[in-house]
Structure 1
Amino acid sequence: MAQVLEFKLPDLGEGLTEAEIVRWLVQVGDVVAVDQPVVEVETAKAMVEVPCPYGGVVTARFGEEGAELPVGAPLLTVAVGEGAEGHRPAADPGTDGGAARAGEQPGARERRSEGSGNVLVGYGTSEAPARRRRVRPQGRASGVTAGAGTAGAGSSGAGVPGRANGRVRAAEPVDGPVPVISPLVRRLARENDLDLRELTGSGPDGLILRADVEYALRAAAAQGGRAAREAGPHPDGTVREQALAATAGATATAGAAVTEPAGVAGSAVPPGDVRIPLKGVRGAVADKLARSRREIPDATCWVDADATELMRARAAMNAASGPKISLVALLARICTAALARFPELNSTVDTQAREIVRFDHVHLGFAAQTDRGLVVPVVRDAHARDAEALTSEFARLTEAARAGRLTPGELTGGTFTLNNYGVFGVDGSTPIVNHPEAAMLGVGRIVPKPWVHEGELAVRQVVQLSLTFDHRVCDGGTAGGFLRYVADCVEQPAVLLRTL
């Protein structure tokens, strides 16, 4: 007899707690093999294809494309064993988890330890601890929850009480202690007159997270906006009282969750405005940059350098047979040589221990602009690679970044960052340090400019170099010495050869 097994979103590593469904790779009724990728998800770090540890027939999928799911939430169910081919549901239940389970045979909820076990980080195919079921008393309705459910209308989860965009909300308040740990979550709910008993948390054992509260507020505000637009004047000059009442209730519930433009207090946000969620890669970048600005007292110094000789050296290297050497690889070699002379800048600050930690290796990050936002892939042990090896690794990581295939390990652990913003056609910048690193070297465009060379005015290839650094790890003298050494190597590559 076929057995229905539930596959949950695994721990994707690097402390990530949720992921967004980008693309389903299987349909309900499809036959899948063990370790076959079944869904493509996007985390704050990278795009990941998630393999299923079971082989059989897909009987249900949970979550639409674009929905965010917490780690441990059901992804799909698979019928395995003898008779699995005939265990096909009549229709795809979409995000309706209750419907997916309604047709399960006796014993289908049992878990077994069989499976490949190859499910990314910290997640296997063995029995997971049972999650607490929450009691939902009858006879009480939730205004906020109703708003959330309505906001999700139009998705495959439409008509499912309390479910919108892949998140679960209780259709009715619950009795007993509210599973909330964070004082911030309680304060956010209190300030917006939101009853936490009306929510079902997406955290472990139903724990209510800040994201759950914010989602409920956004859903209520969105419902209020639609009601306001529907409350426009009728041909007979009357106004829909019901829509106005809904708008007032949603606005009161949302509270500070929505900031209304000046001059339209009490009304919805103009329909022409666009709201773009800060999530995925964009959200991760925003959080990191904001944290860097809050915690790092940075300073920037810069210098113009004559890059004519560096460009000639690169042309000579590429004229010979063999792989071509990229300019960013030469700049990386210069960076690693400079960090060997000024190790203060290859460090981080341990704020808990109040210590500066200097690294004995250089994991060099480099800024890469992609369609999904700015990412910083990391070249491991850059100090031990020659120009040819650096060129190859830069090319591999850049291609993976543009395709959205970088792993979390390839996006973390950097000790110093090289930012070649000259590719955007600009001369200079004051970049934000890539937290928790201590410094970043910026390189502008290389352009012909008048330059005094050997006592005479000449047209030379000039570049502006800038160094943004954490003033806690060193003073201006060290930062200036580092930048001057980099500039000397750019102007006279032979300087670099003497230090190798």
Structure 2
Amino acid sequence: MTTVAHTRDFLLPDLGEGLAEAEIVQWRVAVGDVVTVDQIVVEVETAKAVVDVPCPYPGRVVALHGAAGEVRPVGQPLITIESLDVPPGAGTPAEPAGHATYREEERAGSGNVLIGYGTGHGAAGRRRRRPRLTVAPEPAAPIVAPEPAASAVAPPPHAAPTDTGRPRPTGSGPSLVISPIVRRLAREHGIDPATLTGSGPGGVVRRADVEAALAAPTGPTPVLTSVPDPADPTSRSGTDPATPADPVPAARPVADDLVIPLTGVRKVIADKLSRSRREIPEVTIWVDADATGLVQTRAAINAARPDQPVSLLALLARICLSGLRRYPQLNARVDGEGQRIVQSAGVHLGIAAQTDRGLLVPVLRDAQRLTTAELAAELAGTTAAARAGTLPPARLTGGTFTLNNYGVFGVDGSTPIINHPEAALLGVGRIVDKPWVVDGQLAVRKVTQLSLTFDHRVCDGGVAGGFLRHVADCVEQPALLIANV
């Protein structure tokens, strides 16, 4: 019975709203590997998140389109799979073990649904263990040392060679670096990955290997001296034949400028902030507030309900929601093309979160429907997922108002840029002990600075000032918040 082989290209799927491309971070398979339905074949980074991409086809990998660090557009081939179709009831001795399982999985379809892309209908079939990436070492060429010249330059006998970290033994083959993050880290510290021994599968150089090389002690830099030639009197410095040769200082390489491509999250941040500056006539107002009552309220809540602790950020989010209910003009956006202001029915609260990939603003949709305890839980889980890079792209868009706690960086105030196309952003500085007048008496209180940056097209100073004053009053007297819930 004849086995018919044909190939199919799996195209890079739509990974979310407004995402037209993705950068390949790491291939999880290699050419020749056999994959199953919904097996993760590549990890890509979009402008919003790091995404594991599953393949909807079973079969053997015959081509990988793009290398790590390369940007691929949506809709272009990502991986080519060769599938083997055998007529029912037929089998050949050459058929790979378990191939019938792959055909069963292909007929069953994939249950995995990626944003903007589904692979079928129903649950996936049995899965095989993901193949591990292996790299075969290349044979080393013999190294022949040249004959030293008569006036060769050499280090003195007492000089110790410079330790370059964890050198690879001669003839072990080139190191494999898959992650662009690892390549960038090595480049920033002037480390050649080829000199490192990778601890990953197949000798892959990982971040830990680069960090180990950075932590390795280094010996003193050798000072090169010229070795005089007895037959050449001009090889000595000075007129006295007994004068030793002058030392020749070692050449110090001039560091090159570090060039960082503006791609991925960094590019989206740059584009969005630049557009915000171009289009939004923003104004920032601020006020100092006595946060002693807010800090005490949080302590009382957590003492009464230790199983459901709330953070100060959750209380500030609750205060923002109260203010937006009173001043809905700030929960809006400007539709430039339609020449209109659109006030949102629900508050989709964005929380600015600093991550290793840059500043992200995950969104809590319809935050006004959550209790304070639910707000605290959602904030903790969402910010943790944002820092881990596991949030889906849909959770990073669609905000209507942003809360930015820049006090965690130890600063008092800021004039932040509005998260386009929103109309306002509340910033909170650090809470510190300061002298404060209470009932005519000087006291030490916990004081914070609140700032509101708003789009002057959606409202004037009266609305913006009223909102900020309401927020400050609730911070100083949390009882007012309860009265307005």
User: TM-score band, normalised by the shorter chain?
Assistant: 0.5 to 0.7
For residues 247-286 of structure 1, what are the structure 2 equivalents within 5 Å?
272-286=256-270
CA contact (8 A) 1:79 1:87 kept: no
Structure 1 residues 308 and 422: CA distance shift in structure 2, 3 A = same
Counterparts of 1:346 and 1:366, CA distance in 2: 14
CA distance in 2 between partners of 1:333 and 1:297 (Å): 27
How far is 1:414 from its partner?
0.3
Corresponding residue to 2:356 among 360, 365, 371:
371
In the alignment, what sits opposite 1:295? Answer: 279
Query: What is the SS of the residue equivalent to 1:429?
Result: coil
Does the residue aligned with 1:481 lie in a helix, a strand or coil? helix
Instruction: Give the match for residue 23 of structure 1.
Output: 26
1:403 deviates by: 1.0
Task: Give 1:343-382 correspondences, 5 Å limit.
Answer: 343-382=328-367
Report the CA distance between 1:81 and its aligned residue. 2.8
Gaps of 5+ in 1: 89-111, 127-153, 157-269
Partners of 1:64 and 1:155 within 8 A in 2: no
SS at match of 1:2: strand
Deviation by residue 1:215-243 (Cα, 9 ceiling, x = unmatched): xxxxxxxxxxxxxxxxxxxxxxxxxxxxx
Q: Deviations over 1:68-97 (max 9, x none)?
A: 001122111112234799799xxxxxxxxx
Residue of structure 2 in register with 1:215 after alignment: none
- For residues 69-468 of structure 1, what are the structure 2 equivalents within 5 Å? 69-82=72-85, 115-116=109-110, 118=112, 120-123=114-117, 272-321=256-305, 322-468=307-453
Aligned letter for 2:387? R
Q: 1:491 to 1:85 in 2, by over 3 A?
A: farther
Matching residue of 2:458? 473
1:60 and 2:63 correspond: yes
- Give the Cα separation in 2 of the matches to 1:125 and 1:412: 24
Q: Normalised by the size of structure 1, how large is the TM-score?
A: 0.64
User: Judging changes above 3 Å, is the alpha-carbon distance between structure 1 residues 279 and 453 closer, same or farther for their aligned structure 2 residues?
Assistant: same
| CA shift in 2, pair 1:274/1:33, >3 Å | same
- Residue identity opposite 2:401 in structure 1: F
What letter matches 2:110 in structure 1? S
Task: State, as a whole percentage, how many aligned pairs show the same letter.
Answer: 64
Q: Output the CA distance in 2 between the equivalents of 1:289 and 1:87.
A: 56
Following the alignment from structure 1 to structure 2, what is the Cα–Cα distance between the partners of residues 297 and 389?
35
Question: How many Å separate the matches in 1 of 2:94 and 2:32?
Answer: 10
After TM superposition, give the deviation of residue 271 of structure 1 in Å.
Answer: 6.1
Q: For residues 43-54 of structure 1, what are the structure 2 equivalents within 5 Å?
A: 43-54=46-57
Q: Kindly report the root-mean-square deviation, in angstroms, between the aligned alpha carbons of the 2 structures.
A: 2.4
Counterpart AA for 1:16: L
Offset, 1:114: 8.8
| Equivalent pair of 1:419/1:441 in contact (CA under 8 Å) | yes
Please give the secondary structure, in 2, of the residue aligned with 1:477. Answer: helix
Ranges in structure 2 where 5+ consecutive residues have no aligned partner: 87-91, 97-105, 121-173, 177-253
SS for the counterpart of 2:418 is: coil
Match of 2:166 in 1: none
Query: How many angstroms apart in 2 are the aligned matches of 1:285 and 1:488?
Result: 33
| Equivalent position of 1:133 in the other structure | none
Give the match for residue 182 of structure 2.
none
The answer on whether the counterparts of 1:25 and 1:40 sit within 8 Å (CA) in structure 2 is: yes
Contact 1:52-1:119 at 8 Å conserved across structures: no
Answering whether residue 457 of structure 2 is matched by residue 487 of structure 1, we say: no
Which structure is larger by alpha-carbon Rg, 1 or 2? 2
CA contact (8 A) 1:444 1:463 kept: yes
Which letter does structure 2 place at the counterpart of 1:34?
A: V
- Displacement of 1:29: 2.1
Do the aligned partners of residues 277 and 68 (structure 1) sit closer, same or farther apart at CA in structure 2, a change above 3 Å counting? same
Partner SS, residue 285 of structure 2: strand
State the match for 1:38 in structure 2. 41
Tell me the CA shift for residue 118 of structure 1: 4.6
Whole-Å separation in 2 of the counterparts to 1:411 and 1:275: 28
Amino acid at match of 2:294: L
Cα displacement (A) at 1:406: 1.4
Q: CA deviation at 1:116?
A: 3.0
Q: CA deviation at 1:386?
A: 1.1
Structure with greater helix share of residues: 1
Kept in 2: contact 1:57–1:85 (CA 8 A) = no
Q: How many residues align?
A: 337
The CA deviation at 1:2 is 2.8
In 2, the alpha carbon distance for the partners of 1:425 and 1:311 equals 17
The change in CA–CA distance for 1:87 and 1:49 in structure 2 (over 3 A counts) is farther
SS of the residue 1:300 aligns to:
strand
Report the AA paired with residue 476 of structure 1: G
Secondary structure, in 3 states, of the residue corresponding to 1:340?
helix
Tell me by how many angstroms 1:381 deviates. Answer: 0.9
Question: Residue 124 of structure 1: CA displacement?
Answer: 5.9
| Deviation, structure 1 residue 23 | 1.1
The one-letter code matched in structure 2 to 1:291 is R
What SS does structure 2 have at the residue aligned with 1:81? strand
> Partners of 1:480 and 1:399 in 2: how far apart?
33
Correspondence for 1:185: none
Higher mean displacement: 390-399 or 283-292: 390-399
Query: 2: CA distance between counterparts of 1:69 and 1:86?
Result: 36
Moved more, 374-383 or 23-32: 23-32
Q: Identify the residue that residue 130 of structure 1 maps to in structure 2.
A: none
Question: Retained in 2: the 8 A contact 1:6–1:77?
Answer: yes
Q: Does 1:7 align with 2:10?
A: yes
Indicate if the aligned counterparts of 1:348 and 1:358 stay in contact, CA closer than 8 A.
Answer: yes
Distance 1:478 1:304 in 2: 18
Structure 1 distance, partners of 2:93, 2:411, is: 60
Q: In structure 2, what residue type is equivalent to 1:334?
A: I
